[in-house]
A and B are shown apart, each in its own frame.
Chain A
Amino acid sequence: MSDPATVAPPKIVESVGVVLANDAYAGGQYILRLQAPEIAARAVPGSFVHLRCAPELPLRRPLSIMLRDQTKGWIDILYKVVGRGTAALAERQVGQQLPLLGPIGNGFSPAPRGSRPVLIGGGVGMPPMLLLASELRREPHFRPVLFLGSEVPFPFAPKPSEFMLDGLPPGVLATMPLLDDWGIPARLASGQGFAGCFDGLVTDLARAWLAQLDETARQSVHLYACGPTPMLRAVAELARGFDLPCQVSLEEHMACAIGGCAGCVVQVATPTGPAMKRVCVDGPVFDASTVF
């Protein structure tokens, strides 16, 4: 079995990002916009940065790139306050400087021409899916579909989608406005009863849509996912059930993020038996079937 993560990563840059925005959203979520032109230029979908959240916390934190503007030189990062690092990051003000390393990691391997990418993101796992969608939209033949889930209010104002998706329960119409602007059909899921969202797990939402496809259409689907481990496990099951290729982006506690310390490993199946792979540079994207 070949490792799907075969996109040769660019060199990692040690740079200083300037905070352009650090906006709070419900549920302890923030979107950080950093001026970091070299990283914006080199990032690929799946890339992350290793960010020093505050001077007093010298160990950096790995955070996925959600959007980037190569012309203006900024990157957007979605994070949720879960510990000391992200709490300190939430305190950063516009104009402050943050040392960061990036872009790091192997990106998603490109979907073959004629395939139908289906992207599933959960919570702060949404960012790599959005960066991937932003790249896929440049090649209209892909016709990607996104399913996003969150148990806290989404960090954007959902609106009814202009695009139809078959097989979903009535009233499941909410999408992320940006995706509509990009011409990409998407739907949202939550167990919190948010208006227009699928009431349940994002993986059940994806399953409902996949199930109504005819066999030929379904066999062209390639799954991509990032989110909490239980969600990724469910996506891997979904892929197994429908016999679809599936790439997942993982996270783990990291020290160096350069491949030096082997602190961030995940156990993967290889032809020669189990192996410990580093999430930072062997991943963060892995073939789901080798991990789950």
Chain B
Amino acid sequence: MTITDSSVDAAPVPPPIGAVGMARWAWRQLTSMRTALILLFLLALGAIPGSLIPQRGVDPVAVVEFRNRHPELASWYDKASLFEVFSSPWFSAIYLLLMVSLIGCLVPRTRVYLRAVRARPPATPRNLERLPEHRAVTLDPGADADPETALATAAAALRRRRFRVETYEGSISAERGYLRDTGNLVFHLSLVVVLVGIAVGHLYGMRGSALVVEGQGFSNTVTQYDNLRTGPRFDVDDLSPFTLTLKDFQARYEEAGNQRGAAREFEAKVTVIDAPGSPPRADGIRVNHPLNLGGSKVFLGPHGYAPAVTVRDGNGNVVFAGAVPFLPVDPVGLSSRGVVKVPDAAPTQLGFQGFFLPTAAFDLQRGPFSTFPEPRLPRLVLNVWSGDLGLDDGVPQSVYRLDTTDMTQVKESTKADAQPLTQSLAVGDTMTLPGLGSLTFDGYREWVVLQVAEDPGRTPALAGGALALAGLLASLFVRPRRVWVRARRDEAGRTVVEVAALARSEGPDLAADVDGVVEALKSSNSSGSSDSSAATAAAPKE
């Protein structure tokens, strides 16, 4: 660096490189390998909190729980977008900078690469014996022993070894392994393709889920989803127009051993109507075997039980009849918790809450619980609340939770010290609520969550991944090297051929290439005496 100001008294000022100079300097810094390395480390470091702090996109429930437990910390996390690391501005900044650095590195390298690919293998160095691998062969005098023929033989041998060969005055130059640089460029460019695929999926894709009870249908429209996330560029009118009906959900569980109750097989039997007007057809959805319906994939999600009940009110009218999905709370026995809300009951609204136990058991420690996920001894255990369900307040309510603020629990009797009414019902049983009505446990059905996803970016992303792998293999395993052959006559008029090789990357077997050429020369020069007199092989340097 030079100081342009000639005045000695003046404080040293930075060189006036100007805005263009600054930009060029910044660009050079950004596209240097060192910066790329640092950005790679930052990317790795930045991903760590995303794996340790609950992420909204991965497990929203865990985020809510974390917030309740650590409200103070959560507000700090919010400021740093730590609940959504992978879409946070700082994480995006890292990978976008890395991409810019990558492209900035690729463009000049592609230019160099294209020039190198078109260039002739370089001229033969003067001192071949200085190269890491070198042999000299003296040919026996004969018809085939002039330098031109020897060079032609060597060139043919090198071409057979898939070298690109160029003839110079009295020598030939050969090079192979251009695929290494090709692979390197393809690998890095493919990463950009993968990123584009991810972006396309984000913009034009959708993901949704819906809980469907056996016997019920699902048609692929916005209103039918319990949960739907669409990309900013996704048009909901483009939802594939299929309809599904869940005929039957089948599950098989481990019967014995310490994994008793563990899931072994799930299948949802469905009837599919691909588009309005097409004939219904039977199909099945299993884990790992989604259904492909016009660009959308339908996956089998969680499953559970929906007890079917009939509720009569105090006047004896049927005010509710149907299957109500309960949510599993215990993965082993599939005990499920749920709520039946009956807003139309008279004289007061009714709410039932409790458990569905597929294979019921009871002990003093746990109370009622389930020992097996299959319905072998199904019981519905409920208690009852009467009053105002709070459904008209305008506040959205969970269908799985009872808001008991304006309700009173129904007791076993009207006595002052009566216990709250809790009853365990077998299929067909009825619980009677004096003056308020009754509930009959009619049976149960199973439900599944169907997850629907559409991702037009997955094909480009996969293609990018496959290309990246191919490029990576080429860039790591193709070993570029150069071989030179020079032939001349010595004082005695015999032809001396020198063969030498140079590695342009780590680890190619140069000796094999050189030996190959020497062998070809010897075998075409076999008219003379034994080859031991002909070859003077220099010892390999390694």
- Do A and B come from the same complex? no
List chain A positions with a Cβ less than 8 A from chain B. Answer: none
Interface of B with A (CB < 8 Å)? none
